[in-house]
Amino acid sequence: MVSKQENAILTGVGAGTPMGELMRRYWIPAAMSSEVEADGSPLRLMLLGERLVAFRDSNGEVGILDHHCPHRNASLFFGRNEQGGLRCLYHGWKFGVDGQCLDMANVPPHQDFKSKIKAKSYRTIERNGLIWTYMGQDEPPALPSIEATMVPASKVTFNWMQRECNWLQVLEGDLDTSHTDFLHGGARTVQSFAPDDPRRFGAANRAPEYEIEESEWGTMYGAFRPADPGETYWRVAHFMFPFWTITPSGPFGRHLYARAWVPMDDTHTMAMRIIGNAGKVAPGGSGIVTGLDDLMPNTTDWYGRFRPNTNAENDYLIDREVQRTKTFSGIPGIAAEDQAVTESMDAITDRSTEHLAPSDRMIAITRRRLLEAAEAIAQGAKAPGRDGSIYAGARGGYFIAPNGGSLTDAYRDAFGKTAPMNLALT
């Protein structure tokens, strides 16, 4: 059980909070490259409780700045993105992508002091269709070598969806494999699957056992069930610092997938998922698609990006007749099902009232690792997983293995039989 004090540490992400300081030791996927155009409109971003604006200058470089102009605090969202910088609408002060003031238009040249003025800014880098930002004040690590993020944007699908609740309760849904055969598949039977589909063993046995291991990048679980005689059905997934997951929702060795649960603030989360298309190109050849049709049109407000049409106001479109006769949930689609249950826990769930079961061991151990990491940062230690190369060792999915081996044995054997998956898509 998590105490109220520990829960506050786990869920608070603002500047100066233990978890917020931990988050600021890692690169954060902030937006898609396609969301900002050279000399185009600035983009409002809410990240870790901070109100920011992103823009691309005339040279194609991306800047992420505090939205307040350092002159009189007017919002730079209303600024003019022109001729190599973002110019504040109020008095014409202009800022480069690094926040440096380039021009004080309302100050005579002999009186200006632009060299001494810098807007609060964060470092950015682009890779394969994503804009990443580093919100810490120390030297950033290398970008994480998560396999799905190493693939060119033209050969992956990006899914973005906002959740109206705290980041940790939505992330923990990815660490809980037993809910799959209830919330998402409670109406399925063994006969629902092809005879050679390993997922039929989940329908036959909805109460798996677990092995959990701590790893360099975070934690790993293996949920296992009996399969055919002499064999075990494994589902392997990962938590990767600070907010990444790989779920077992595809065949191991062909499941090129990762999801970041990026905290916008304490009560809003942006879910960003990358799915390898095995060489397929998205419509129009761009690769930049949401993969979700049931989203509201984006608006320019702080919470205006990638909001689902299924939401608390319409009870997530639950159909009780469908629930009784066709599906277990009556809610249309896996994403909406997960959204409904995680948002129903309240904006920030009270973990001190939970009663965890053996099926929740991965969640409990991951919480402990996060608390330990936050405490280590407070004591001046380094954040775990700062070596970006270690993430290449994380791969998830389901597979069949001979009886008798441990999670370590089964995982190493399955991993060794497949080459790095991103190489097939480069």
Evaluated on CA atoms 59, 60, 62, 66, the torsion sign reads positive
pLDDT at 160: 96
pLDDT of residue 279: 40
The one-character DSSP state at 364 is H
- 45 closest CA partner among 347, 263, 289: 263
Q: What's the token pair of residue 204? A: 């036959």
Q: Which domains does the chain have, with CATH numbers?
A: 27-134 (2.102.10.10), 147-425 (3.90.380)
What per-residue confidence (pLDDT) applies to 291? Answer: 42
DSSP code string of 81-141: EETTEEE-TTT-EEE-TT-BEEEETTS-GGG--GGG-B--EEEEEEETTEEEEE--SS---
- pLDDT per 10-residue tile (average), the chain, 426 residues: 94 98 98 97 98 98 98 98 97 98 96 97 97 96 94 90 97 90 84 88 87 95 93 95 95 91 98 76 37 82 96 96 94 93 97 93 96 95 91 93 92 82 54
Q: What type of residue is 189?
A: T
Look up the pTM and report it: 0.92
The 10 Å CB-count burial string (b at 16+, else e) for 325-346 is eebbbbbbbebbbbbbbbbebe
- Write down the pLDDT at residue 422: 58
